[in-house]
Amino acid sequence: MKSRDFAKFAVPLGVVGIIMLLVVPIPAPLLDFLIVTNITVGLVILLTAMYVKKPLDFSVFPSLLLIATLFRLGLNVASTRLVLRDGYAGEVIDAFGHFVVGSSLVIGLVIFLILVVIQFVVITNGSGRVSEVAARFTLDAMPGKQMAIDADLNAGLITDEQARVRRKEIAAEADFYGAMDGASKFVKGDAIAGIVITLINLIGGIIIGIAQRGLSAGEAVETYSLLTIGDGLVTQIPALLMSVSTGIIVTRSTAEGDLSSATSGQLSQSRPALMITGIAAIALGILPGMPKLPFFVIGALLLIAAQQVKNKERKDKEAALLEEIQAQSQGGPAQDTPEKLIEDMRVPTLEIQLATDLVDLVNSSRDDDLLARIRGLRRKIAFDLGIVVPPVRTRDSVELPPSHYVLKVSGVEVARGELPQGRVLALGDELDSLPGDTVVEPVFGLTGKWVPEQMRFAAEMAGATVIDRVSVLITHMSALISQNASRLLSREDVRLLTEGVKAINPSVVEELTPGSMSLGEIQRVLQGLLTEQVPIRDLGRIYEALSLKAKATTNPEVLIETARLAISPSITARYVRDGILRVITIDPVFEQALLEGLRTSDEGSQILLEQRRLDAFLRSYTTARTQGEASGAQVVLVCAPSIRPALYHLVTLQHAEAAVMSYPEVTGSGIRIETVGVVRDVDAIAA
């Protein structure tokens, strides 16, 4: 039989053997072998618990604890049967009864009771309490961890496969601590059973010795007491090992590595603590009557350990200094060189300033590290809009009020917000039962409250959507980048994007630039698209359209409309819901008046009409838009291509998120169109 097949059947066969052990008598030599096996298995489990790096690496422990407990109870039953029947239960129990306790009933009883107190009162109770608290806290934290995974997935920080793995780990962690909460009861019950079985063996053995075997009271007490105490010690030692294993497993938290490495590393991190303790030990040894050798040896060892820590710290500092010198020798500018000053003077394109109490958000050891989330945001923006977001500079500022942050574009503050420490943002309509002042979410204008992190579960139960501080900041930053995308697209970015297109479609780039359009002119067209939140990912199609139109005109507005028409299906798809595009049209007579009032210039086109007619247009559009959005879908204003840019600038004065498209853009997409409103000249109709 292969080892893999043997391992598959070993545990089931072992459990069947334990069940048989409860009912089938066994000889004393076999009992000796099983007792040694029990002690050895307990020691293996204890050492395994010490060397695992995290509790989930020993996820089989709760089931193993149950099997070991059942095995120990089976040995109790088998040894009790031999003690009461033969007055002899093997060499192991006899050795514990005579050699370990010195053939003294009092010594054996005291040692047995001490082991019981250590296991039952100290270790078992502590392990049970830790298991209970860990299970409750793990279950309470599950919704928040799931939301954090979803947020990371939406931000592009992790893939779908990584998200599934992390969700599986969270579920496994909850199951493990829930199982440990129940398994700790096995240890407690085992300790109680050990006491009861020992009393039964002692009383039953004395009665059998006097009544059946004809022993005197003294002989019966001496014989069966030593056997009972030996049996109790034999079973309590592996039980104690299992209790300690349980305590180690449930008390492991965030320490990296095995228990031994983590303990030695953390205990040796403070040189003054080791030095003071060593001096104190030597001082105690000097006191009259104290044994000098133990104190002096321990004190000397502690002082040596402190010196080793000092040497390690010095070597670490020297290594860090050497790395800094090497970095400077490899071309890094000195602190006061003109190159360094020019670097410091450079205004960052994007910047986040944090109050000093928010610096904890920038922590690479946390799952919600701000810098990692920013990297994911840059990747998401690249796929959504087709631009490469410049690096975001993050620094602290002592000038900001506590818990505040500021977002800057090109050194100019464009937004600020608040992230109270130790709190999460709860968004919803039913927040009256939650403590805190009502606030307004900075991006979508939703009503919310900053509640303590401990109340996350209560807020979710109240129907609120709970968002952590980093997610609030990242959402605010994402909206800021989208609104300023045209400003963030630099000439250098256009060059890099163009080279990317040239790598896969060289002919269209060679036809477009530098012959027909310069990089600056291309930049102006792409910025015009980004101003209206139009993605520029399909640069190949955009460049193809521009290469044809640029031969006839260099008017940026015309070129922007040409690029829009080339990628109109992707623009239209943003506003389609359930396969339907809901549009607002303009009364033909009113549209003709708008066309007659159109004027073009180097700064772009505009509509010159009487102010009352422009006001009437905006009022009618607002009414039609409100009615059209009652169904929950975004509506699009459609018009003639020549007046689309001018109308967009007009309506966005009152509605920043308005969508304006031309007839060719809408009809060229091949989707179903539904008219939900018509803009009319209300004043002309009334007249």
pLDDT band at 639 (very low <50, low <70, confident <90, very high): very high
- Extents of the domains making up the chain: 13-260, 268-313, 368-485, 489-566, 572-686
Check if CATH label 3.40.50.1370 holds for domain 572-686: no
pLDDT digits (tens, 9 = 90+) for 491-525: 888 888 888 888 888 888 888 888 788 888 888 99
Long-range contacts of 22-31 (CB under 8 A, 24+ apart): 22/73, 22/74, 22/77, 25/78, 25/81, 25/82, 26/78, 28/82, 28/86, 28/88, 28/89, 28/90, 28/91, 29/90, 31/75, 31/78, 31/79, 31/82, 31/89, 31/90, 31/92, 31/93
| Cα dihedral: 375, 378, 382, 383 (round 10) | 60
d(CA 416, CA 419): 10
d(CA 25, CA 597): 108
Mean pLDDT value across residues 192-203: 74
Mean pLDDT value across residues 88-100: 70
End-to-end CA distance of the chain: 101
Mean pLDDT value across residues 456-477: 84
Only one residue has tokens 């695992």, namely 52
Long-range contacts of 9-12 (CB under 8 A, 24+ apart): 11/67
d(CA 67, CA 61): 10
In terms of pTM, does the model score above 0.85?
no
Question: At residue 640, does pLDDT exceed 70?
Answer: yes
Nearest to 268 by CA among 280, 256, 257, 277: 277
Residue 183 CB neighbours (<10 A):
24
- Give the contacts of 1 (CB within 8 A, at least 6 positions apart): none
Structure tokens at 426: 């709860």
Structure tokens at 459: 């807020």
Q: Which amino acid appears at position 342 of this protein?
A: I
d(CA 139, CA 125): 21
pLDDT band at 334 (very low <50, low <70, confident <90, very high): very low
- Residues in the chain, how many? 687
Strands 350-355 and 447-452: unpaired
Q: What percent of the chain has pLDDT over 70?
A: 77
pLDDT digits (tens, 9 = 90+) for 97-111: 666 555 566 666 677
Q: Where are the alpha helices (DSSP H) in 534-608?
A: 539-549, 556-566, 568-573, 588-596
pLDDT digits (tens, 9 = 90+) for 255-283: 555 556 666 666 666 677 777 777 877 88
Query: For residue 686, what pLDDT is reported?
Result: 46
Nearest to 290 by CA among 302, 279, 301, 281: 281
Query: For residue 291, what pLDDT is reported?
Result: 78
pLDDT band at 655 (very low <50, low <70, confident <90, very high): confident
pLDDT digits (tens, 9 = 90+) for 572-590: 888 888 888 889 999 998 8
Bond before 55 cis per omega within 30 degrees: no
CATH topology of domain 368-485: Glutaredoxin (3.40.30)
Considering 66-70, 272-276, 365-369, 469-473, the range whose residues carry the highest mean pLDDT is: 469-473
Q: Which CATH class is domain 489-566?
A: mainly alpha
